[in-house]
């Protein structure tokens, strides 16, 4: 039992850290994110969302059940889309970074 709590705490810390990095990207601004000459921010954001999906999927099912307000299926779908689609719509990624990820922290009570 302790092992599951330790794992959950570690995963939540990872999620919090990934959202912190997403916030660093959005703090640089929309113009930097959508700069056609430098896709670094877009690629980093894509990796963050994929890593976030991985962390979320590793959370115990019982923990996820305690938070029905979280759009678990949408998080999974977003990560799958980014991992498999070569023609990423970065407006969707930007919207996730700006709205969805900060909301996730609030919903999980780890903001």
To the nearest whole number, what is the mean pLDDT of the chain?
92
pLDDT, position 80: 87
Read off the pLDDT band of 3 (50, 70, 90): low
pLDDT tens for 18-71 read: 999 999 999 999 999 999 999 999 999 999 999 999 999 999 999 999 999 999
Neighbours of 60 (CB within 10 A): 13
- Tell which wins on pLDDT, 106 or 111: 106
Taking a C-beta distance cutoff of 8 angstroms, is the pair 33, 45 a contact? yes
Distance of alpha carbon 67 from alpha carbon 104, whole angstroms: 10
pLDDT, position 4: 58
pLDDT, position 111: 84
Distance of alpha carbon 83 from alpha carbon 68, whole angstroms: 25
């Amino acid at each position: 039992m302790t092992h599951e709590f330790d794992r959950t705490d570690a995963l939540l810390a990872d999620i919090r850290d990934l959202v912190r990095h997403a916030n660093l990207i959005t703090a640089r601004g929309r113009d930097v994110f959508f700069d056609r000459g430098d896709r670094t921010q877009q690629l980093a954001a894509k990796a963050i969302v994929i890593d976030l999906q991985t962390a979320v999927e590793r959370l115990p099912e019982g923990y996820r059940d305690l938070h029905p307000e979280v759009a678990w299926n949408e998080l999974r779908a977003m990560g799958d889309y980014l991992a498999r689609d070569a023609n990423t719509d970065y407006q969707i990624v930007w919207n996730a970074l700006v709205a969805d990820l900060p909301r996730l922290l609030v919903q999980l009570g780890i903001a």
